[in-house]
Chain A
Amino acid sequence: MDLSFGPEYDDFRADVVSFLANNADKAPKGNDLRGEAAKDWQKLLIENGYTCRTIPKEYGGYGAQPDIIKSRIIAEEFSSARINAGLGGQGISMLVPTLLEMGTQEQKEQFIRPTIHGEMLWCQGYSEPGAGSDLASLTTSAVLDGDEWVVNGQKIWTSTAHIADWIFCLVRSEPDAPKHKGISFLLFDMKTPGIEVRPLVDMTGVANFNETFFTDVRLPKHQIVGERGEGWQVANAILGHERETLAPANTAQTRINALIELMKQETVNGDPLINNPVYRDRLMKLQGKVMAMRFNELRILSARLNPGQDPGMARMITKLEGTELRHDLEGLAIDVMGEMGLAYDDNPHLRNSGSWQREYMYFLGLIIGGGTSQIQKNIISERGLGMPREPKFEKAS
Chain B
Amino acid sequence: MQFGLSEEQILLQDNVNRFLDDNSPLDRVRAYADGGADADIWTGLAELGIPALLIPEAHGGIGLQPLDAAIVAECLGSHIAPTPFLGSAVMAPTALVASGGDHGELLADIAAGTMRIGIAFGEAIKRRNDAGVSVKDGRMSGTSMYAFDAEADAYLVADEHQHIYLVRTDDPGLTRSDLATVDKTRRTVELNYENVAAELVSADPTVFEASIDIGRMALAADTLGAAQNMLDQAVEYAKQREQFNRPIGSFQAVKHMCAEMAAQLEPCRSMVWFAGHALAELPDEARVTACHTKAHLAEVGQFIAKTSTEVHGGMGFTDLVGLHYWFKRIGANRQWLGAPEFVREEAAVLQGI
Contacts and interface: CB of A to CB of B under 8 A. Distances in A.
Interface of A: 1-6, 69, 260, 264, 274, 277, 280-281, 283-285, 287-289, 291-293, 295-296, 298-299, 301-303, 305-306, 309, 312-314, 317, 320-321, 374, 376-378, 380-382, 384-391
B246 interface: yes
Interface centre among A3, A260, A386 (most CB of B within 10 A): A3
By Cβ-Cβ distance, the 3 closest A-B pairs, closest first, are: A295-B270, A377-B259, A302-B3
B139 interface: no
Contacts of B247: 388
B347 A287 contact: yes
B227 to A, nearest CB: 13
Nearest to A321: B263
Given A292-B270, A293-B267, A2 B2 contact: yes
Nearest to A309: B4
A387 to B, nearest CB: 4
B256 interface: yes
B255 A387 contact: yes
Contact of A387 (B235, B274, B289): B235
B238 interface: yes
Q: Is the interface of A mostly helix, strand, loop or mixed?
A: helix
B178 interface: no
B264 interface: yes
B1 interface: yes
A305 B2 contact: yes
Given A2-B2, A291-B296, A385-B235, A284 B289 contact: no
Interface string B225-268: 00000000001001100000011011110011011101110111
A4 B251 CA distance: 45
Contacts of A320: 259, 263
A296 B256 contact: no
B310 to A, nearest CB: 15
Interface in B322-353: 341, 344-345, 347-348, 353
B93 to A, nearest CB: 21
B257 to A, nearest CB: 9
A298 B274 contact: yes
B262 A387 contact: no
B348 A284 contact: yes
Contacts, number: 161
A303 B3 CA distance: 8
Given A284-B348, A295-B273, 6 more contacts: A1-B6, A1-B281, A287-B292, A288-B295, A317-B266, A378-B259
Given A281-B345, A309-B4, A374 B264 contact: no
Given A287-B292, A291-B292, A312-B266, A280 B273 contact: no
B259 A376 contact: yes
Contacts of B292: 284, 287-288, 291
Contacts of B281: 1, 3
B263 A317 contact: yes
Q: Classify chain B's interface size.
A: 35 or more
B269 interface: yes
B262 A298 contact: no
A355 B202 CA distance: 50
A285 B263 contact: no
A289 B260 CA distance: 14
B194 interface: no
B266 A381 contact: no
Nearest to A377: B259
A373 to B, nearest CB: 9
A394 to B, nearest CB: 15
Contacts of B3: 1-3, 295, 298-299, 301-302
B26 to A, nearest CB: 22
Contacts of B249: 381, 387-388
Contacts of A1: 2-6, 67, 273, 277, 281
A391 B252 CA distance: 11
A299 B4 contact: yes
A302 B4 CA distance: 8
A295 B297 CA distance: 14
Given A281-B345, A287-B347, A295 B271 contact: yes
A6 B2 CA distance: 11
Contacts of B256: 374, 377-378, 381
B4 A387 contact: no
B277 to A, nearest CB: 5
Contact of A281 (B2, B239, B277, B341): B341
24 contacts: A1-B273, A2-B1, A2-B2, A69-B1, A280-B345, A283-B348, A285-B344, A292-B267, A292-B271, A295-B273, A298-B270, A298-B274, A299-B4, A299-B273, A301-B3, A305-B1, A306-B2, A313-B266, A314-B270, A378-B259, A380-B263, A386-B235, A386-B239, A390-B252
